[in-house]
């Protein structure tokens, strides 16, 4: 199995192109199920999760055609994909497929809206928490669907079509908001989603749906209004830059030191993380090429962080931030409020010499002068990259195993970091 080997100590100097956002590309691809016309998506990242979703969508009848080159020199820029669901050939999303990627559960919204039925496997838990789907089920029921759980499948029916309604989410769930938003575009009458997620990826999906003919207002706020329409059409949409990838490389630069421009990145969606990085001692400037991050000559200050729904500090940057705090001067606290088990990286960071103690949902980190390289194991996507960040500053060699987690969400990570001077390579066997 492939591993990532890093020899720590080299500062990062240069530029890194930021890819299209995984967590926007996935719901946008799923939105192709809502129309029999072609949805063209640009800037789609080359990631394992994207690849898996192409496969899952093909099972429902979505034809995928790539425009232009798929490999070669162009590999650091995103791909353009035409997705066409002329006919839905299967409304079942089987366990074998849904269990490999949680976001594939979201097909339940468009399938139900367009076909009046869907049979989608329950996704099950994952390394970061139990991740139930009760909000989806209650929300779709409010839109008129009959829902039963049968042998591990959510079996949903709305033969006469979905009917708009007022739905209040108990928490601003990203996945439930994406799913209900897609479902409501084809429902009869008005749907109001209250306590909706406000993440930029929701706004990106809503913008694309509007181009497809949907009537949506309020996206990006806690209340989204959707006036159902009889049908949606083809459209062309560019996936927004990945704010989590941006935050990750910004934190990598803060950790390793140096001067890196994140090309195509935007500061707009990273207000809170950038504020904390500045407090930690990174200099951050918005330039016409993207975001420039520098840390030269002075150490990392210890700073506290608590995860929150957008616009708060994202849980998807928690592990990376903690890795940086391992080298901070003094004590910091990192509190996770979104997922109950998102601290799997702690014991691996400790293997690199970090001093971290856990008390409930809060980690207390005593910064150390030097981390020391060691073999470590990736446990989930963002945990894996936190180990890479720690490895960049650790003395000697760090080897990260189980990097299939990393490949789910970071496009060409070794290339992007090594072109900035990091000593990092992928080794097989």
Ligand X SMILES: CC(=O)N[C@H]1[C@@H](OP(=O)(O)OP(=O)(O)OC[C@H]2O[C@@H](n3ccc(=O)[nH]c3=O)[C@H](O)[C@@H]2O)O[C@H](CO)[C@@H](O)[C@@H]1O
Known binding residues for phosphoenolpyruvate are 22-23
Least Å from the CB of residue 419 to ligand X: 26
The answer to whether 23 contacts ligand PEP (rule: CB under 6 A) is yes
The residue among 39 and 98 lying less far from ligand PEP, judged by its C-beta, is 98
**Cβ atoms within 10 A of the Cβ of 107, count?**
28
The answer to whether 381 contacts ligand PEP (rule: CB under 6 A) is yes
Name residues contacting ligand X, limited to 359-388 (CB under 6 A). Answer: none
Could you say which of 201, 245, 316, 414 contacts ligand PEP (CB under 6 A)?
Answer: 316
240 contact choice in ligand X, ligand PEP, none (CB below 5 to 8 Å, kind-dependent): none
126, 208, 326, 420: the catalytic one is 126
The answer to whether 175 contacts ligand X (rule: CB under 6 A) is yes
Name residues contacting ligand PEP, limited to 84-103 (CB under 6 A). Answer: 102-103
Residue at token pair 């950790």: 255
The answer to whether 176 contacts ligand X (rule: CB under 6 A) is yes
Could you say which of 185, 195, 261, 315 contacts ligand X (CB under 6 A)?
Answer: 315
Provide CB contacts within 8 A for 163, sequence distance 6+: 143, 144, 187, 188, 189
The answer to whether 262 contacts ligand PEP (rule: CB under 6 A) is no
CA dihedral 111, 99, 127, 377 (to 10 degrees): -130
Number of residues in the chain: 429
Least Å from the CB of residue 217 to ligand PEP: 27
- Tokens (6 digits) for 389: 């960040």
The residue among 19 and 40 lying less far from ligand PEP, judged by its C-beta, is 19
Least Å from the CB of residue 116 to ligand PEP: 28
Using alpha carbons only, give the angle 264, 265, 271 rounded to the nearest 5 degrees.
160
- The residues that bridge with 306 in the sheet, in sequence order, are 335
How many CA atoms are closer than 13 Å to the CA of 329, on its beta-carbon side?
A: 7
The answer to whether 29 contacts ligand X (rule: CB under 6 A) is no
Assess whether 326 carries a catalytic annotation: no
Least Å from the CB of residue 126 to ligand PEP: 6
Could you say which of 409, 410, 413, 414 contacts ligand PEP (CB under 6 A)?
Answer: 409
- Tokens (6 digits) for 291: 């975001």
The residue among 391 and 409 lying less far from ligand PEP, judged by its C-beta, is 409
The answer to whether 339 contacts ligand X (rule: CB under 6 A) is yes
Binding mask 221-240 for ligand PEP (x = CB under 6 A): --------------------
The residue among 74 and 134 lying less far from ligand X, judged by its C-beta, is 134
171 contact choice in ligand X, ligand PEP, none (CB below 5 to 8 Å, kind-dependent): ligand X
Binding-site residues: 22-23, 102, 316, 338
Name residues contacting ligand X, limited to 102-141 (CB under 6 A). Answer: 102-103, 129, 131-136
- The residues that bridge with 7 in the sheet, in sequence order, are 397, 423
Could you say which of 209, 251, 338, 365 contacts ligand X (CB under 6 A)?
Answer: 338
Residue at token pair 């506290």: 304
Binding site for ligand PEP (CB under 6 A): 23, 102-103, 126, 316, 381-382, 409
Binding site for ligand X (CB under 6 A): 23, 26, 102-103, 129, 131-136, 171, 173-176, 197, 315-316, 338-339
Query: Which residues are marked as active site?
Result: 126
């Amino acid at each position: 199995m492939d591993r990532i080997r890093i020899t720590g100590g080299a500062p990062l100097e240069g530029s890194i192109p930021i890819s299209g956002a995984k967590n926007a590309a996935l719901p946008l691809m799923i939105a192709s199920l809502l129309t029999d016309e072609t949805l063209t998506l640009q800037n789609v990242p080359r990631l394992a999760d994207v690849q898996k979703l192409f496969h899952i969508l093909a099972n429902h009848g979505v034809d995928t055609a790539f425009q232009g080159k798929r490999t070669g020199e162009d590999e650091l820029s995103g791909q353009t994909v035409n997705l066409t669901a002329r006919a839905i050939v299967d409304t079942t999303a089987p366990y074998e497929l849904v269990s490999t990627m949680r976001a594939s559960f979201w097909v339940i919204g468009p399938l139900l809206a367009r076909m009046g039925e869907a049979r989608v496997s329950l996704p099950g838990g994952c390394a970061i928490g139990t991740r139930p789907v009760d909000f989806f089920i209650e929300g779709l029921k409010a839109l008129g669907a009959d829902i039963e759980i049968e042998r591990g499948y959510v079996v949903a029916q709305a033969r006469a079509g979905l009917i708009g309604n007022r739905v209040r989410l108990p928490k601003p769930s990203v996945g439930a908001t994406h799913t209900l938003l897609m479902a409501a575009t084809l429902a009869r009458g008005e749907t109001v989603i209250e306590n909706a997620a406000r993440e930029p990826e929701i706004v990106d999906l809503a913008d694309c749906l509007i181009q497809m003919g949907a009537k949506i207002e309020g996206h990006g706020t806690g209340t989204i209004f959707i006036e159902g329409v009889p049908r949606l059409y083809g459209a062309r949409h560019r996936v927004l830059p990945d704010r989590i990838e941006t935050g990750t490389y910004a934190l990598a630069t803060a950790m390793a030191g140096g001067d890196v421009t994140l090309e195509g990145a935007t500061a707009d969606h990273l207000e809170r993380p950038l504020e904390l990085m500045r407090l930690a001692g990174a200099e951050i400037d918005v330039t016409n090429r993207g975001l420039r991050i520098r840390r030269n000559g002075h150490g990392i200050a210890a700073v506290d962080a608590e995860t929150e729904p957008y616009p708060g500090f994202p849980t998807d940057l928690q592990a990376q931030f903690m890795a940086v705090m391992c080298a901070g001067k003094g004590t910091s606290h990192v509190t996770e409020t979104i997922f109950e088990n998102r601290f799997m990286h702690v014991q691996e960071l400790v293997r690199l010499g970090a001093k971290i103690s856990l008390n409930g949902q809060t980690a207390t980190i005593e910064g150390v002068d030097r981390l020391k390289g060691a073999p470590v194991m990736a446990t989930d996507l963002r945990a894996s990259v936190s180990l890479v960040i720690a490895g960049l500053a650790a003395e000697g060699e760090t080897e990260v195993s189980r990097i299939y987690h990393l490949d789910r969400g970071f496009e060409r990570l070794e290339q992007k970091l090594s072109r900035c001077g990091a000593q990092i390579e992928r080794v097989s066997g």
